[in-house]
Amino acid sequence: MTVLDEMRAKEGVDAETVERVKSLSGTYKHGWNTEIEMDYAPKGLSEDIVRLISEKNGEPDWMLEWRLEGYRRWVGMKEPKWAMVQYPEIDFQDQYYYARPASMLEKPKSLDDVDPKLLETYKKLGIPLKEQAILAGVEPEPGEEDRKVAVDAVFDSVSVGTTFQKELAKAGVIFCSISEAVREHPELVKKYLGSVVPQSDNYYATLNSAVFSDGSFVYIPKGVRCPMELSTYFRINAENTGQFERTLIIAEEGSYVSYLEGCTAPQRDVAQLHAAVVEIVVLDDAEVKYSTVQNWYPGDENGRGGIYNFVTKRADCRGDRSKVMWTQVETGSAVTWKYPSCILRGEASQGEFYSIAIANNFQQADTGTKMVHLGKNTRSRIVSKGISAGKAQNTYRGLVSMHPKAKNSRNYTQCDSLLIGSECGAHTVPYIEVRNNSSRVEHEATTSKVDDDQMFYCRSRGMDEEEAVALVVNGFCKEVLQALPMEFAMEAQQLVAISLEGSVG
């Protein structure tokens, strides 16, 4: 790519992203609902539903067996209650575990075959026009691709299309929906699925193992630097539907990939369930960057509705000198329960976790990370910024564990909380376990309010209170925002401001 191309690409992203965010008004921006004819499985969960999901996805027997094993384990498990979140009992039998746009029963051959409402959805999601067409099945004109982001969109239970497949294939990269991967690349799925997050890992991950309907699959072969950023948009649309996507990323020796994930859902009075699993396998010298902007519907200002987001994300740095970087901007969801983790198994492997969690109104977030140091000379860094406003509760929960064999390892953790208003809460619950003396572990946490002097300075420069808070908060989050890919950084900054609207004055 020439310098000029690179600039154009960057500018394109900037202008587009800014435009998109600006066009959004004060409240939740993705609260629309697309009236699309849906193909539902019956409500509730049973072995039959698991079989049905497997059948709909045209899966082989081993996959069905794997799901059933998960289901059987799940039946005997109890919902965890240790997180600092409170929500009414979830009736797992009052959910649809499978829903897909009826028009997707047959893959569309051309743009005309695609339900126009689905296209509208992509548009509202802010998926660029070109990719909308590609998602809908239209081939791109050669030489016209100036924005290198491959997109996989997951709409309720199904992946509706993945862009740039051909170009990726040229590089040997596989980027497709997980159901496709089960059919096309069973050897890879069989080898890695559940190897990082086992079926019985925890309540929600087990549920996901049984009923996951789709998600993304990424395979980067040895020595390949993925030519573009990969991106997935998740959208829950149908009512009373849980979304259970499963993402599997495999980075072979010496490879590199940057993966972006965005999530939205319509505004509904009834809370909706989302229980995803992300597994990442990183081999020798490989590097994976995983960035999330989670903007599921957070519920209204009275705490009605919203997404219950119970997510298990884990990266296994199996290879020596492998590296994983989790970056998350969590602004949505009524309840968040999410701990992207790194198992630092390979020697000199590295894990990083950068997080911004914003909770406003009645939102509750319990999020953090686990850094499990098993190999020698491993390093990890945690930077967590929690912002609470309104009546929200925001908890950082994390584990740093140095095993006896993880000699000469290093961890640095910084957790900062900011409180806006006197009715919210900010909490820090770190676990630190050090079992050898050649490693160093440092943990720092602070809690404070928006600095009066900074506010005064901004106000004296003519900013209104809300703008000033947004600016101060963006400054507070700077270290994390800088870790985001360009694609997301602008959007995340705006999101930070939008999420805090109505929190002052």
Partner 1 sequence: MAADPKQQATEERLAALTLPEGGGWLGAARKDALGRLEAVRLPGRRDEYWRYTNPAPLVQAAPALDVPDQVEDPFEGVDALVVTIDGDNIEIPGELPAGLEIGTLADAARADIHWAKELYGHREAAGSRPVSRPLAMLNSAFATNGLVIRATGKVAMPIHVRTGGGTDPILHHLVKVETGASVTVLESGIAGARSNIVTEIDVADDGTFHHIRVDGPTRARHGNTHLFARLGAESTFKSFTLSAHGELTRNEAVVELTGDDAVSHIAGAAFGQGDFHHDDTVFVIHDAENCESRQVYKKVLRDGAVGVFQGKILVKEGAQKTDGYQISQSLLLDDDSVFLAKPELEIYADDVACSHGSTTGAIDETALFYLRSRGVPERAATDLLVLSFLAEALEEIEDETLRANISGRLADWLSRD
Pairwise CA distance, residues 160 & 208, whole Å: 19
Pairwise CA distance, residues 273 & 258, whole Å: 27
Smallest separation (angstroms) from partner 1 to the CB of 434: 4
Smallest separation (angstroms) from partner 1 to the CB of 322: 25
C-beta closer to partner 1: residue 119 or 420 = 420
Smallest separation (angstroms) from partner 1 to the CB of 426: 5
Strands, DSSP E only, in 403-474?
A: 410-420, 425-434, 440-449
Residue with tokens 């597994």: 279
Residue with tokens 């992300």: 278
Beta pairing partners, 247: 278
C-beta closer to partner 1: residue 235 or 410 = 410
Q: How far is CA 218 from CA 115, 191, 194, 199, in A?
A: 27, 14, 15, 20
Smallest separation (angstroms) from partner 1 to the CB of 393: 9
C-beta closer to partner 1: residue 296 or 396 = 396
C-beta closer to partner 1: residue 161 or 398 = 398
**Strands 229-235 and 158-162, how do they pair?**
unpaired
Pairwise CA distance, residues 382 & 481, whole Å: 14
Burial of 28 (0-12, 13-18, 19+ CB in 10 A): buried
Beta pairing partners, 311: 338
Q: 127 with 160: CB under 8 angstroms? A: no
C-beta closer to partner 1: residue 98 or 339 = 339
Smallest separation (angstroms) from partner 1 to the CB of 432: 4
Smallest separation (angstroms) from partner 1 to the CB of 366: 12
Smallest separation (angstroms) from partner 1 to the CB of 206: 21
As given in the structure block, the two tokens for residue 408 are 């000469």
Pairwise CA distance, residues 339 & 355, whole Å: 10
C-beta closer to partner 1: residue 433 or 465 = 433
As given in the structure block, the two tokens for residue 179 are 């159901």
Q: 208 with 75: CB under 8 angstroms? A: no
Q: 431 with 398: CB under 8 angstroms? A: yes
C-beta closer to partner 1: residue 191 or 449 = 449
Angle at 23 between CA 152 and CA 471, to 5 degrees: 100
As given in the structure block, the two tokens for residue 147 are 């924005």
C-beta closer to partner 1: residue 441 or 498 = 441
Smallest separation (angstroms) from partner 1 to the CB of 70: 25
C-beta closer to partner 1: residue 132 or 394 = 394
Enumerate binding residues for partner 1 (CB under 8 A): 82, 404, 407, 417, 419-449
Q: 340 with 369: CB under 8 angstroms? A: yes
Smallest separation (angstroms) from partner 1 to the CB of 256: 32
C-beta closer to partner 1: residue 36 or 400 = 400
Q: How far apart are the first and last CA of the chain?
A: 48
72: which DSSP letter? H
Pairwise CA distance, residues 411 & 409, whole Å: 7
Pairwise CA distance, residues 236 & 238, whole Å: 6
C-beta closer to partner 1: residue 227 or 430 = 430
Smallest separation (angstroms) from partner 1 to the CB of 441: 5
Smallest separation (angstroms) from partner 1 to the CB of 409: 11
Q: 196 with 345: CB under 8 angstroms? A: no
